[in-house]
Amino acid sequence: MSHHDQISFKTTGPTQGRSGRFKRRSRSLSQSSTDSYSSGSYSGSSSEDDDVSPREKVQYNSKNFKGFCVRNIKQAAFGRREIEIAEQEMPGLMLLRKRAEGEKPLKGSKIIGCTHITAQAAVLIETLHALGASVRWSACNIYSTQNEVAAALAEAGFPIFAWRGETEDDFWWCIERCILSDDWQPNMILDDGGDATHMMLKKCPETFKLIKGIVEESVTGVHRLYQLSKSNKLSVPAMNVNDSVTKVKFDNLYCCRESILDALKRTTDIMFGGKQVVVVGYGEVGKGCCAALKGLGAIVYITEIDPICALQACMDGFRVVKMDEVVRIADVIITASGNKTVVTRQHLDRMKNGCIVCNMGHSNTEIDVDSLRTPDLTWEKVRSQVDHIIWPDGKRILLLAQGRLVNWSCSTVPSFVVSITATTQALALIELFNAPQGRYKKDVYLLPKKLDEYVASLHLPAFDAHLTELTDDQAKYIGLNKAGPFKPNYYRY
Amino acid sequence: MSHHDQISFKTTGPTQGRSGRFKRRSRSLSQSSTDSYSSGSYSGSSSEDDDVSPREKVQYNSKNFKGFCVRNIKQAAFGRREIEIAEQEMPGLMLLRKRAEGEKPLKGSKIIGCTHITAQAAVLIETLHALGASVRWSACNIYSTQNEVAAALAEAGFPIFAWRGETEDDFWWCIERCILSDDWQPNMILDDGGDATHMMLKKCPETFKLIKGIVEESVTGVHRLYQLSKSNKLSVPAMNVNDSVTKVKFDNLYCCRESILDALKRTTDIMFGGKQVVVVGYGEVGKGCCAALKGLGAIVYITEIDPICALQACMDGFRVVKMDEVVRIADVIITASGNKTVVTRQHLDRMKNGCIVCNMGHSNTEIDVDSLRTPDLTWEKVRSQVDHIIWPDGKRILLLAQGRLVNWSCSTVPSFVVSITATTQALALIELFNAPQGRYKKDVYLLPKKLDEYVASLHLPAFDAHLTELTDDQAKYIGLNKAGPFKPNYYRY
Amino acid sequence: MSHHDQISFKTTGPTQGRSGRFKRRSRSLSQSSTDSYSSGSYSGSSSEDDDVSPREKVQYNSKNFKGFCVRNIKQAAFGRREIEIAEQEMPGLMLLRKRAEGEKPLKGSKIIGCTHITAQAAVLIETLHALGASVRWSACNIYSTQNEVAAALAEAGFPIFAWRGETEDDFWWCIERCILSDDWQPNMILDDGGDATHMMLKKCPETFKLIKGIVEESVTGVHRLYQLSKSNKLSVPAMNVNDSVTKVKFDNLYCCRESILDALKRTTDIMFGGKQVVVVGYGEVGKGCCAALKGLGAIVYITEIDPICALQACMDGFRVVKMDEVVRIADVIITASGNKTVVTRQHLDRMKNGCIVCNMGHSNTEIDVDSLRTPDLTWEKVRSQVDHIIWPDGKRILLLAQGRLVNWSCSTVPSFVVSITATTQALALIELFNAPQGRYKKDVYLLPKKLDEYVASLHLPAFDAHLTELTDDQAKYIGLNKAGPFKPNYYRY
Amino acid sequence: MSHHDQISFKTTGPTQGRSGRFKRRSRSLSQSSTDSYSSGSYSGSSSEDDDVSPREKVQYNSKNFKGFCVRNIKQAAFGRREIEIAEQEMPGLMLLRKRAEGEKPLKGSKIIGCTHITAQAAVLIETLHALGASVRWSACNIYSTQNEVAAALAEAGFPIFAWRGETEDDFWWCIERCILSDDWQPNMILDDGGDATHMMLKKCPETFKLIKGIVEESVTGVHRLYQLSKSNKLSVPAMNVNDSVTKVKFDNLYCCRESILDALKRTTDIMFGGKQVVVVGYGEVGKGCCAALKGLGAIVYITEIDPICALQACMDGFRVVKMDEVVRIADVIITASGNKTVVTRQHLDRMKNGCIVCNMGHSNTEIDVDSLRTPDLTWEKVRSQVDHIIWPDGKRILLLAQGRLVNWSCSTVPSFVVSITATTQALALIELFNAPQGRYKKDVYLLPKKLDEYVASLHLPAFDAHLTELTDDQAKYIGLNKAGPFKPNYYRY
């Protein structure tokens, strides 16, 4: 398979849910896909550079610092510009930086980071630094690094170890370079997938015990943390950012609402008006897709296994059907189920000529792409991320991104939404680092609701939104503290 | 009693949240308001009837049964028609009746009911009966009984004790008639507000201990149950229906989406296009109102205290403002905060001529109506439920339903949505009555998620919606049982 | 007369289009239906009054004036309140009154009016008076007069001849009383249906020639004017208000968007979410209905004969189907085609139990109601304007308003939209009355675009809308006068 | 000036309206901008090619034909693929081809074409050919030619004279090569801008008189035709396609609804939720933009000069304001007025940091871009088509496409919508070519409504839409022919 599944080697099993790690990853890659549109003008990377592994080159930044490993330090200026653009659209995180810069709540913290290396991640890294943290950073994915951003971070003096197109060996080498540093002892981990956490647990079990807290944002990483916790191997408190309100209700819903149209347009130039679209799954991802498509005049059908989500779809004005009922008439089919093989070869055989098939949900298992690799079918790559699969009778199906997350590959994701999650990560780090002894045990926690609310409040000024304050009387009447939290933990938003 | 707060004597204090009891009450009263539109044609009640208290009359139904107390048994035919209409729009509950009728899962149960007596409640009562239950029923509100429905139930042989316009003494007398029956020992309670529960606890503490379970749907009643539980006085398991998913996500959101336009139209004939509307609070009630208003071309502003809800409002395309910023330009102001005095006299003084003010949230405390009862202002009742408050300079404010729930008073609530909650109540009774020893302790429980899902599934056929079933493979992959539950308990929908 | 078609005696043949006269009529009747909801509180009409024909009573207003004929002058106060409420919601017409009151552009005009007598019509009549006109007024429909409004006008001194429930003889007698007045010679006609015009043409051909202009708003009346014009019998200029932009684009589209939900709710308490609705015809009426229904979560299907409208429906996100394809699954069927028998007995036979059928389009011919009057079917009136038609197998179809315009019978129409048409009528009268000799020949005209724009501009302040003015440079560049008109005549809006 | 205004030399003055020519142009260029994203993979044009003018090269296609002049015949395969993709999305035009291929209604026609040379235009050209026409073709714009498409056409044997980046001299030379052919005498013109028409009129006045008809689709070209007609110089009938219903109501409205989001996303990756957007002008273009933006949660404000459009905006739920009222808070400003200088330097000075400014309306005059070329401001090109204008205080305004049509430069336009206009052009040619003597005089005509309807009907199968047929009875009742036309000419849709 020419398209090596870059995430398989880290995913040890099926994961519940549909976002988290994979979603997050999408961001970085989507950024890189933008990059590819404009690679000529931006990165200036010549092919010669790519021939030599960064591990074999010695590079210095303009201040003669060489404690990093990136593709090409000369791309720093391009990366800096991308970071500046991202800063504009990450107002909540920038506001946190501004507010807490004096206070330096992360002073003394030494954070190992292992995330996608994107412009947005750079804004997070530089925010942590501004808040007092010392960091070392590697990539959580071998394909997702924006090289010019990594260069910009290196130029700014950050010990960064990441480039696009690492080998698996490179991948672990980079993480190790972060963990094992002679004169630098980490006390916090910001992880995306759990790889840094697990390497450290294995390689430096003693140092691991000194860690004050782990912040994890991916489905997979959270899953692994809960497993550690169950088997009593989790010796430090950890914060599950993946299931925080802001992540679930903003990152998933709005991010998909914003990116589905974009992904379809950039790949197929489709007209949405009057198109019949089947969305598989009416969770947050599906809800976001449906809202956007309906807004532009598409007719949307839903398939669901869960009667509650199905009833929501009904009340929201969508027909709930089985795939077999609509597969022949569909113009577009979008998977968002979090499950595997929800679009089968049998379905694909029955689709009409020109049907577009893509995935917004889970890795590359929702559409049974492998079933299309049979001798009777012809694959024709017509554009980047667009394959025509041609049946013997001439029927063509348009498969986007080979069934991988389509907004992962074919669109960008709004920095604003990323800002919400990044701010949550920063606050989780601050909370764990500063929590009084005993507040957090060796367990996995959700962010306290009050901090969730703080994350939201940091993003309101961007909308020029003005919160109302409770009067003393009202606060008393309703039994709330005027500063929040304003809702019980089980509130569903 | 022109402004007596008819619910105050049962509400011992402020309650959190914004629906539950008060919401439920709205249904019955809204039904009764429909009734009032057409009282001539429907109920045929002559004023003479009203002069004599039902307690002082002896009435027989056509089968010579007299174990009930209603306004006028002769209205039974009208009530039966209303019940039949309600059955049509309560497909989930009717389907449950049909499916479980053979099995009779409530055989042996003896249920005391204390709810609003409406056509929809009648469908619930007759469903419980069809499932094997024996019942005795009274009203949870002195104003909300549909007399003709009560008559229809009495005609059908149900021991029903309720009429519109009970005195407080009548109210308790009716409940007592349900509890204290010589030859009938209750073993279940279906309560709305907690009055039956508490009377029984006080008057028959010994019998109370034999109760197998309590099902409670109101905010207030649930609050009282948790208090009992805390003080170790709850000797039986109780089910909190008020916070079940179907209640929160369907009853609140969609019910308000359906009824806000209706309530405003019926009272004011307002045109929605281009109107500037302020909605106070962006919880489920506010969200429902906003969706409906935006759909008809209104421009909606939100006030919020909670930054998370505020951020949702922003992302959904609404300006989040303080009341002071928009009070002068608003055409309509709708309160949905669950708090008190969110519209003050100062606000009212600054509104423009013709502004409509109404409440979708909490009892009659959200708008400071009392502040309008000053000598400088003139009240003019222009229609049923519509008062003009006239300022010295001639400015008129249109106050709907005197600040009580406007869909409570001025519109109907879709039976379909009520069906969802009623089905939840029925299933909760079945679950508690049949649960094996030990499954439920002396505590307050939420409905198991699987039953939530069952409630939803019972309502899908009405939409001709077809659920997809997991394959064995998919179920294994995602770690689910093919029959559900399909989501973890913390899932937010 | 339970099913007499009250408009048939004036409709001499099929009329093109779907609004005009019949639409206009709906307004008044809808008002009267409101009235019926609350007749007890408002009109105070005792049944004794109704036994005596107004023609046989002599009534005086408080100033001892008796030159009118209404049901009961004592209802004047109730009518005045209704007029005041209407004034609030007719800001454009009131603004015209205020602006032109000093100038008195209708000074010297003597206008015969023959329209529905409603609160909104009263605002028009009093505006004409304020602008200098002398008027005499009768009703254009025997059912639509709001008696209390007629009383209020009579109390204010207007020679008004109209009551609800006129006989056909009464109808013509009333018009004649307007035309034939000893000391008053009409010089303008404001007509709705053409009856005043034609009676005058027949009875007073000489006086008719002295008329300075006719303003006509109905489809039927306009049709008759064009016929007169063709046969060279039109001796005066006439203005066709029915096809003015503001009428077509506001009255039809937005009026239906506002009233369809209301009409369905008031009659059936239907929940819209997830309902499958078939709308027959995607003209302005259909477009308005669809927009509203989609906004509340209904799934809408369209049937169309015109491929252009059908393509618009497709692009707007609606499936275009034949009735046969969807009649079995429809929850609601709304006719808006302007044609006859678009819902046949065959369709009705195939509808599912509980299907609601109603008409927004043309008189009572769109649904083949007569085909339902066969012995095998049972009719049951369940509410005002709601009939259940019961098939032998128990299936029930809900027929609203017996197939007459459902917003005609079951809802109100926003006064604001009526204001737009009424203002157009007033300006048309002013234009014809003041036009220099020769501007208008003996023909039928559309309102000059500039006046159309003026009508619109009078309604903008109600929205606090602020127009931008062209700079000299921009006006020159685009070739427009800064004061308008801003669009060519063929512009489609 | 690096940004030569490529259209100025053909635009002799201000033009009314906002679409037509300029709009059409957008399509081709937007195609070319797509092209630019992916130039590496698609066209394979090496820079050497570009150094030599096509006029100085002799090229042969694979059948040894050399009667064309394109950039590089070797790109034909790439172009053919683009044409095939376009065919998929132009179902109406392809259906016309299929239906009329046997009949060959253009047999004997010799058509000079002068339009943008895009994949969609190629589908039109090949359709005309399939219908019997002989053609010669040049470009109507020096920048808009898709070189690979021109190559594909040349490879297919079409005498095509066009390439991207012609000089003005090249431009006229190409048209001349079409007109002046030794053995080929044109008898029809398909023009876009009027240049072919006018060159022929000047250079070959005698041949011009033999032309059977002109079809023109641009605002400018139509304007010039009307001028010719007025001055009695139009010696042949001409068809104004620009003002046909399908053009106005589909091309403008839906095309903008589809492309505005795309254009903004591809350039700025903006998140739409909660953004405050000002749209200048609420014509079809503005309406399309607003519908799309509202659908994704933006808050939209309108500025308007025309009270009728302003009132529509109000009723549709948008605040109508003056630019000064909102310029400080706007996140995005979109011009769609058809006028000049609607965004001035004064406005730009007052916008907030990060505001995006772009134009959907008229050439590059709506935003006063020249006013930004002052020494105090810094221009920074951050991406293709995105300039940051930096104020001395650091404020940045994002100017898209330097004020030229943003969907012209930064997005694609759905082929489906183009298909509607192209089909109209083909039918206009057929109609003029086959019209019996005398049907058309030396004047400018609109397409007969019946053909408009036929265009629409050809596009319905793509939506699987099923038209209803009138019964004989219905047709008679409503006074229509069963085959249409279904509406009077003045119908407004």
Domain membership of residue A135 as a residue range: 8-247+414-434
Which of A308, A314, A453 lies nearest to residue B453, judging by beta carbons?
A: A308
Per-residue pLDDT reduced to its tens digit, D415-452:
898 999 999 999 999 999 999 999 999 999 999 999 99
Which of D271, D292, D415 lies nearest to residue A296, judging by beta carbons?
A: D292
Which of D310, D322, D471 lies nearest to residue C460, judging by beta carbons?
A: D310
Per-residue pLDDT reduced to its tens digit, C291-342:
999 999 999 999 999 999 999 999 999 999 999 999 999 999 999 998 999 9
Predicted confidence (pLDDT) at residue A32 exceeds the cutoff of 90: no
Q: Given the structure tokens 């500037």, which residue do they identify?
A: B276
Max mean pLDDT range (D30-34, D347-351, D383-387): D347-351
CA neighbours closer than 13 Å in the CB half-sphere of residue C143: 18
CA distance C444 to C429: 14
CA distance B272 to B457: 35
Q: Are residues B190 and B303 in the same domain?
A: no
User: Is residue A292, in this structure, part of any structural domain at all?
Assistant: yes
CA distance A407 to B141: 54
Nearest to A141 by CA among A62, A194, A88, A95: A194
Per-residue pLDDT reduced to its tens digit, A209-220:
999 999 999 888
Nearest to D332 by CA among D235, D430, D399, D389: D399
CATH number at D215 reads 3.40.50.1480
Residues in chain D: 493
CA C41-C42-C43 angle, to 5 degrees, is: 120
Task: Determine if the peptide bond prior to B105 is cis (ω within 30°).
Answer: no
CA D183-D184-D190 angle, to 5 degrees, is: 165
Residues of chain B positioned with their CB less than 8 A from the CB of D329:
none
Our CA-based measurement puts residue C431 at a distance from the nearest CA of chain A, in whole angstroms, of 43
User: Is residue A464, in this structure, part of any structural domain at all?
Assistant: no
CA neighbours closer than 13 Å in the CB half-sphere of residue C458: 29
CB contact under 8 A, C274 and A317: yes
Per-residue pLDDT reduced to its tens digit, C190-201:
999 999 999 999
Structure tokens at D39: 């130039």
Task: Determine if the peptide bond prior to C485 is cis (ω within 30°).
Answer: yes
- Do the Cβ atoms of B288 and B257 come closer than 8 Å? yes
pLDDT at A26: 30
C304 is in an annotated binding site: yes
pLDDT at B49: 55
What string of DSSP letters covers B213-235?
EEEE-SHHHHHHHHHHHHTT---
- Do the Cβ atoms of D15 and D222 come closer than 8 Å? no
Residues of chain C positioned with their CB less than 8 A from the CB of B384:
38, 41
Of D28 and C279, more confident: C279
Domain boundary among A385, A402, A434: A434
Q: Are residues A163 and A80 in the same domain?
A: yes
Element (H, E) at C251: none
CA D23-D26-D30 angle, to 5 degrees, is: 155
Q: Are residues D31 and D169 in the same domain?
A: yes
User: Is residue A469, in this structure, part of any structural domain at all?
Assistant: no
CA distance A247 to D189: 59
Of D199 and D88, more confident: D199
- Do the Cβ atoms of C485 and C450 come closer than 8 Å? yes
CB contact under 8 A, B271 and C416: yes
CATH number at C402 reads 3.40.50.720
- Mean pLDDT is lowest, of B253-262, C143-152, C483-492, for C483-492
Parallel, antiparallel, or unpaired for β C444-446 and A319-320?
Answer: unpaired
Q: Are residues A101 and A228 in the same domain?
A: yes
Predicted confidence (pLDDT) at residue C28 exceeds the cutoff of 90: no
User: Is residue C198, in this structure, part of any structural domain at all?
Assistant: yes
CB contact under 8 A, D273 and B316: yes
Phi-psi region at B69: left, alpha or beta (left = phi > 0; alpha = psi -120 to 50): beta
Residues of chain A positioned with their CB less than 8 A from the CB of D294:
295
pLDDT at B12: 31
Our CA-based measurement puts residue D459 at a distance from the nearest CA of chain A, in whole angstroms, of 12
pLDDT tier, D14 (very low <50, low <70, confident <90, very high otherwise): very low
pLDDT tier, B41 (very low <50, low <70, confident <90, very high otherwise): very low
pLDDT at A205: 92
> Mean per-residue pLDDT for C354-381?
93
Interface test with C, best of A293, A315, A329 (most C CBs within 10 A): A315
Q: Are residues C16 and C61 in the same domain?
A: yes
User: Is residue B127, in this structure, part of any structural domain at all?
Assistant: yes
pLDDT at A379: 97
Structure tokens at B25: 């009450």
Interface test with D, best of A26, A265, A329, A385 (most D CBs within 10 A): A265
Element (H, E) at B132: none
C192 is in an annotated binding site: yes
CA distance B375 to A171: 79
CB contact under 8 A, B463 and C329: no
> Mean per-residue pLDDT for D355-382?
93
CA distance A369 to A386: 13
CA C190-C191-C196 angle, to 5 degrees, is: 110
pLDDT at C50: 61
| DSSP letter, residue A373 | -
> Mean per-residue pLDDT for A344-358?
97
- Do the Cβ atoms of B342 and B280 come closer than 8 Å? yes
- Mean pLDDT is lowest, of A368-372, B469-473, C290-294, C381-385, for C381-385
pLDDT tier, C49 (very low <50, low <70, confident <90, very high otherwise): low
- Residue of chain A minimizing CA distance to D81: A382
Query: What are the b/e assignments for A321-336, b being 16+ CB within 10 Å?
Result: bebeebbeebbbbbbb
Q: Are residues A284 and A211 in the same domain?
A: no
Per-residue pLDDT reduced to its tens digit, C169-184:
999 999 999 999 888 9
Query: What are the b/e assignments for C51-88, b being 16+ CB within 10 Å?
Result: eeebeeeebebeeebeebbbbbbbbbebbbbbbbbbbb
CA distance B129 to B121: 12
Residues of chain D positioned with their CB less than 8 A from the CB of B274:
314-317
Q: Are residues B307 and B167 in the same domain?
A: no
Predicted confidence (pLDDT) at residue A200 exceeds the cutoff of 80: yes
- Mean pLDDT is lowest, of A462-466, B335-339, B431-435, C250-254, for C250-254
CA-to-CA dists, residue D334 to B316, D266, D282, D372, angstroms: 21, 16, 11, 17
CB contact under 8 A, D383 and A412: no
Chain A residues at the D interface, defined by Cβ less than 8 Å, are 34, 37-38, 40-41, 81, 85, 88-89, 254, 257-258, 261-262, 265-266, 269-274, 276, 292, 294-297, 329, 354, 382-384, 411-412, 414-417, 462-464
CA distance D425 to A220: 57
- Residue of chain D minimizing CA distance to B314: D274
Residues of chain C positioned with their CB less than 8 A from the CB of D340:
473-474, 477-478
- Do the Cβ atoms of C479 and D16 come closer than 8 Å? yes
Phi-psi region at A487: left, alpha or beta (left = phi > 0; alpha = psi -120 to 50): beta
Q: Is the ipTM of this complex over 0.85?
A: yes
Say which amino acid occupies A469.
E
Q: Are residues C223 and C295 in the same domain?
A: no
The alpha helices in A89-212, defined as continuous H runs, are 91-100, 119-130, 147-155, 168-179, 195-203, 205-208
Per-residue pLDDT reduced to its tens digit, A49-106:
567 899 999 999 999 999 999 999 999 999 998 999 899 889 999 999 999 999 999 9
CA-to-CA dists, residue C409 to C10, C34, C286, angstroms: 19, 9, 18
Q: Are residues A232 and A266 in the same domain?
A: no
Per-residue pLDDT reduced to its tens digit, D47-89:
445 678 999 999 999 999 999 999 999 999 999 989 998 998 8
CA distance D75 to C296: 52
Per-residue pLDDT reduced to its tens digit, C85-122:
899 889 999 999 999 999 999 999 999 999 999 999 99
B285 is in an annotated binding site: yes
- Do the Cβ atoms of A143 and A32 come closer than 8 Å? yes
Q: How many domains does the structure of chain C reveal? A: 2
Q: Which residues contact A285 (CB under 8 A, 6 or more apart)?
A: A18, A19, A252, A253, A256, A336, A360, A361
Query: What are the b/e assignments for A115-129, b being 16+ CB within 10 Å?
Result: bbbbbbbbbbbbbbb
Q: Are residues B323 and B192 in the same domain?
A: no
Structure tokens at C238: 């006439």
Task: Determine if the peptide bond prior to B205 is cis (ω within 30°).
Answer: no
Phi-psi region at D131: left, alpha or beta (left = phi > 0; alpha = psi -120 to 50): alpha
pLDDT at B483: 94
Parallel, antiparallel, or unpaired for β D319-320 and D299-303?
Answer: parallel
Interface test with D, best of A30, A269, A466 (most D CBs within 10 A): A269
Burial of D144 (0-12, 13-18, 19+ CB in 10 A): buried
pLDDT at B24: 31
Which of C81, C269, C462 lies nearest to residue B414, judging by beta carbons?
A: C269
Our CA-based measurement puts residue C490 at a distance from the nearest CA of chain D, in whole angstroms, of 8
User: Is residue A183, in this structure, part of any structural domain at all?
Assistant: yes
User: Is residue A472, in this structure, part of any structural domain at all?
Assistant: no
What's the whole-number average pLDDT of chain A? 88
A216 is in an annotated binding site: no
The alpha helices in A180-272, defined as continuous H runs, are 195-203, 205-208, 219-230, 245-246, 253-268
CA A135-A146-A107 angle, to 5 degrees, is: 15
Which of C296, C382, C416 lies nearest to residue B295, judging by beta carbons?
A: C296
Per-residue pLDDT reduced to its tens digit, A258-297:
999 999 999 998 999 999 999 999 999 999 999 999 999 9
What SS3 class is residue B467?
A: coil
Q: Are residues C265 and C210 in the same domain?
A: no
What's chain B's Rg over C-alpha atoms? 23
Residues of chain A positioned with their CB less than 8 A from the CB of B463:
311, 314, 319-320
> Mean per-residue pLDDT for B106-115?
98
Predicted confidence (pLDDT) at residue A12 exceeds the cutoff of 70: no
User: Is residue B465, in this structure, part of any structural domain at all?
Assistant: no
Q: Are residues C172 and C196 in the same domain?
A: yes
C262 is in an annotated binding site: no
Interface test with B, best of A468, A470, A482, A487 (most B CBs within 10 A): A468
Chain A residues at the C interface, defined by Cβ less than 8 Å, are 273-274, 294, 297-299, 314-319
Strand partners, B335: B280, B359
Domain boundary among A351, A375, A410: A410
Predicted confidence (pLDDT) at residue C360 exceeds the cutoff of 80: yes
Per-residue pLDDT reduced to its tens digit, C393-449:
999 999 999 998 898 678 878 889 899 999 999 999 999 999 999 999 999 999 999
Parallel, antiparallel, or unpaired for β C396-400 and C386-390?
Answer: antiparallel
Q: Given the structure tokens 């090269």, which residue do they identify?
A: D57
C247 is in an annotated binding site: yes
Per-residue pLDDT reduced to its tens digit, B152-202:
999 999 999 999 999 999 999 999 999 998 889 999 999 999 999 999 999
Which of B310, B312, B486 lies nearest to residue A249, judging by beta carbons?
A: B312
Those chains having 3 or more beta-carbon pairs within 8 angstroms of chain A are B, C, D
CB contact under 8 A, B299 and D319: yes
CB contact under 8 A, B464 and C329: yes
Max mean pLDDT range (A49-53, A228-232, A406-410): A228-232
- Residue of chain B minimizing CA distance to C296: B292
pLDDT at C258: 93
CA neighbours closer than 13 Å in the CB half-sphere of residue C415: 26
CA-to-CA dists, residue D459 to C76, D413, D448, angstroms: 58, 17, 18
Predicted confidence (pLDDT) at residue B30 exceeds the cutoff of 50: no
pLDDT at B50: 61
CA distance C434 to A350: 70
Phi, psi (5° rounding) for residue D219?
A: -55, -50
Say which amino acid occupies A149.
V
Which of C14, C320, C463 lies nearest to residue D477, judging by beta carbons?
A: C14
Element (H, E) at A217: none
